[in-house]
Amino acid sequence: MPLPRPAPGTGRWWVIGTIGCTIGIALAVWLGLANSLGAITWTDTDYKVIDDTSVQVGFDVHRSPGQEVVCTVQAQDTAHGVVGVLEVPVPASTQRSSHLQVLVRTASRAVGGSVRDCVPDS
């Protein structure tokens, strides 16, 4: 039993629909890549509790070459309360990534440290 033939003129709509879907997907990919290329990201690499009043935090910052950034580094206690905060300026560089080690002073003993956020320096 042969399949029924589509009505005349419907092939054109299949072509238009396929082209429209292709353009939509290409636009979505392009917008996604465009929004992520200039983004500032960071990676926490390590931390070391020095004593009851300080913790050393290491992290990598990834941004566009030549862009100055300010990162907020925080230390937390056992209840996840913030016991220390430090604003760290990251100078412009020809490299996309920079590694930093900073010492965060704390009000009480910390059990960890991490970067809360990084924003462009204004």
Domain coordinates in residue numbering, the chain: 1-37, 41-120
User: pLDDT tens, 13-70?
Assistant: 888 889 999 999 998 888 877 776 778 999 999 999 999 999 999 999 999 888 999 9
User: Tell me, what amino acid is at 53?
Assistant: T
Read off the pTM: 0.70
> What are the CA-CA distances from residue 97 to residues 6, 83, 104, 118 (Å)?
57, 28, 21, 13
Closest CA to 80 of 53, 111, 50, 58: 111
- Contact at 8 Å (CB) between 99 and 58? yes
pLDDT for position 22:
93
CATH class of 41-120: mainly beta
Residue 106 pLDDT grade (very low, low, confident, very high; cuts 50, 70, 90): very high
